[in-house]
Amino acid sequence: MNFKYPVYSPYLNGREKALVLDCLESTWISSKGKYVGQFEDTFASWLGVQRALTVSNGTVALHVALAALGIGPGDEVLVPTLTYIASANAVKYTGAEVVFVDSERDYWQLDIEDAERKITSKTKAIMVVHLYGQATDMDAVMALAKKHSLYVIEDCAEALGTRYRGRPVGTIGDVGCFSFFGNKTITTGEGGMVVSNNHEIADKVMHLKGQGVCREREYWHDAIGFNYRMTNLCAAIGCAQMESIDDLIAKKLQIAQWYREGLAGVPVHMHQTNPDTFHSFWMVSILVEEASERDALRAELGLASIETRPLFYPVHQMEMYSSPGSSFPVADDLSRRGINLPSYPALSRDDVAYICGHIRDYFAEQKTVLEPQMESKL
């Protein structure tokens, strides 16, 4: 179904076409060419990090980061269960075990107390996921990691531009990973980036993402690596997107504010912003008060050509990750009540007003239906 208001649509109104055509004319369309290095350098400078390395997508960014840290069979990695499945899959690719952690209720991020309860002698790392553009409490995460000698991987797929106490996410832990899929704040179609201030880790990522090729001997490989390189074509799009990144993030914040104003007084709860953070609002997300209302509201919005998404299903609910007897009450509750609203940068104030109007109308109609029923019971 084609929606008038999709959940997301990439914003390609800059020099994307011109740089891609330049790339085609140069014939450097694979993983070599000037735009790969240019994109890495521009991204690193903008983020304020020592090293930024392009990869082919956000999932492999997580995988190669974990591999560079030496995570493997016999190890355990703490991962919030309320996340996109790629966070958990990347851990399994290494042969390590995923240990799921519940969410904290206010901001939907990893629950630090639950994380500490899950640490064992096998735990080697914590993967934090800055969900929907909000930041995890990184002071608490880094203190916990230091206490137990753990690596910290930041999954920033949804958090480009997010800051924690003034510091960009992705630059606080040992390594940060970004996604540039078509629905992300900036896109390369498919693509990702691994960033780190640790040159040893960055060198390992560089080595592994390019088939483990030896630096000193041509066409000789001294490790089992991966073919995770970004193409020059994708990097050209990334370079054009970086020219608009600050404007895109500013527009996302404006859209979030329009939603906040438009939903005032409506019985929904918008994703909150921790006072210590700068929430980049990759997605504008709301919670309905009762889980039973979620799908009915989504259906009504769909009839008005407004696309929505449910919050992620907690990964522990998936058959291949099911853990009988485990309890994740907050993540389960948030998932059942949560909705992602259209959040793409081209939305106008009138567009957001139209969407909010339909949400408001839905609850007004529900109130009209329920009031006679309540009166009949009195």
Q: Check if the beta carbon of residue 284 is closer than 8 Å to that of residue 343.
A: yes
Q: Check if the beta carbon of residue 358 is closer than 8 Å to that of residue 308.
A: no
Residue 165, pLDDT score: 98
Residue 338 β-bridge partners = 287
Please tell me the distance from the alpha carbon of residue 287 to that of residue 308, in angstroms, as a whole number. Answer: 13
Tens digit of pLDDT for each residue in 114-166?
999 999 999 999 999 999 999 999 999 999 999 999 999 999 999 999 999 99
Residue 271 DSSP code: P
**Catalytic (active site) residue 184:** yes
Q: Check if the beta carbon of residue 310 is closer than 8 Å to that of residue 292.
A: no
The two tokens of residue 87 are 């966070």
**CATH architecture group of domain 245-368:** Alpha-Beta Complex (3.90)
Crossing angle of the two packed helices 349-377 and 291-303, in degrees rounded to 10: 130
Q: Check if the beta carbon of residue 56 is closer than 8 Å to that of residue 190.
A: yes
Residue 375, pLDDT score: 55
* String of DSSP letters for 236-276: HHHHHHHTTHHHHHHHHHHHHHHHHHHTTTSSEEEPP--TT
Please tell me the distance from the alpha carbon of residue 205 to that of residue 51, in angstroms, as a whole number. Answer: 10
Please tell me the distance from the alpha carbon of residue 184 to that of residue 160, in angstroms, as a whole number. Answer: 8
Please tell me the distance from the alpha carbon of residue 268 to that of residue 314, in angstroms, as a whole number. Answer: 21
Residue written as token pair 């290095």: 37
Contacts of 365 (CB under 8 A, 6+ apart): none
The two tokens of residue 49 are 């990090």
16-242, CATH topology level: Aspartate Aminotransferase; domain 2 (3.40.640)
Name the catalytic one among 17, 32, 34, 184.
184
Please tell me the distance from the alpha carbon of residue 181 to that of residue 187, in angstroms, as a whole number. Answer: 5
Q: Do the strands 284-288 and 338-341 form a parallel or antiparallel pair, or are they unpaired?
A: antiparallel
Residue 310 β-bridge partners = 339
The SS3 of residue 227 is: strand
What are the start and end residues of each CATH 3.90.1150.10 domain in the chain? 245-368
The two tokens of residue 75 are 């190890």
Q: Check if the beta carbon of residue 66 is closer than 8 Å to that of residue 96.
A: yes
- Neighbouring CB atoms inside 10 A of 148's CB total 15
Contacts of 332 (CB under 8 A, 6+ apart): 314, 317
Largest CA distance in the chain: 85
What are the start and end residues of each CATH 3.40.640.10 domain in the chain? 16-242
Residue 181, pLDDT score: 97
Contacts of 262 (CB under 8 A, 6+ apart): 352, 353, 355, 356, 357, 360
Residue 378, pLDDT score: 58
Please tell me the distance from the alpha carbon of residue 209 to that of residue 53, in angstroms, as a whole number. Answer: 9
Low-confidence ranges of the chain (pLDDT < 50): none
Residue 176, pLDDT score: 98
Q: Do the strands 76-80 and 51-55 form a parallel or antiparallel pair, or are they unpaired?
A: unpaired
Quick one: which of 92, 93, 78 has its CA closest to 145?
78
